[in-house]
Amino acid sequence: MSREYPDRPFVGVGAVVMREGRVLLARRGKEPRKGSWSLPGGAQRLGETVFDAAKREIREETGLEIEVLGLIDVVDSIQRDDHGDVRYQYTLVDVLAQTINGDIAAAGDDAAEVAWFSPDELEPLELWEETTRIIGLGYEMWTILQASSSSSPSS
């Protein structure tokens, strides 16, 4: 089935990959949104869990291995053509992850470029509003997880 003008939505996974307070983004090499920065990720395969799909896609697009820390949110992306017909429809499952093999990322597969960004570097990228929202939620989760892992139980 073609991804353009599909007869059903595609399930995709995206990952907010964190490393030392920075988030990994990929410049899309294909439509939809070709040329724009987004979360790395891609389509879930038959027989694959969402978390396994996220791990595979990040490996394919960046060369990095990740540990998935949890679910952030689910986003519906529906793009219509000038006639109102659905040109693309994705159900995007976004997860929070951290790298487990360093921070040297190299573009591969569908990514034209990959790079790490701090929160103050995101605005000029003109990200899709849902990507910005998901990254914000990811930062909140990351901060909570970091605080809880660095605190020790009281006696």
Catalytic site includes residue 113? yes
For residues 81 and 29, the model is more confident at 81
Q: What is the tens place of the pLDDT at every residue in 74-125?
A: 999 999 999 999 999 999 999 999 999 877 766 666 767 889 999 999 999 9
For residue 155, the model assigns a pLDDT of: 44
List the catalytic residue out of 20, 113, 121, 129.
113
Q: Please give the domain boundaries of the chain with CATH numbers for all domains.
A: 10-150 (3.90.79.10)
Residues 14, 28: contact at Cβ < 8 Å?
A: no
Rounded distance, CA 47 to CA 6, Å? 21
Which of 63, 150, 45 has its CA nearest to residue 109? 63
Which backbone phi and psi does 117 adopt, to 5 degrees?
A: -135, 140
Q: Which tokens go with 112?
A: 């034209």
Evaluate if residue 138 carries a pLDDT over 70: yes
Which of 130, 143, 125 has its CA nearest to residue 14? 130
Split at pLDDT 50, 70, 90, the class of 12 is: very high
For residues 110 and 127, the model is more confident at 127
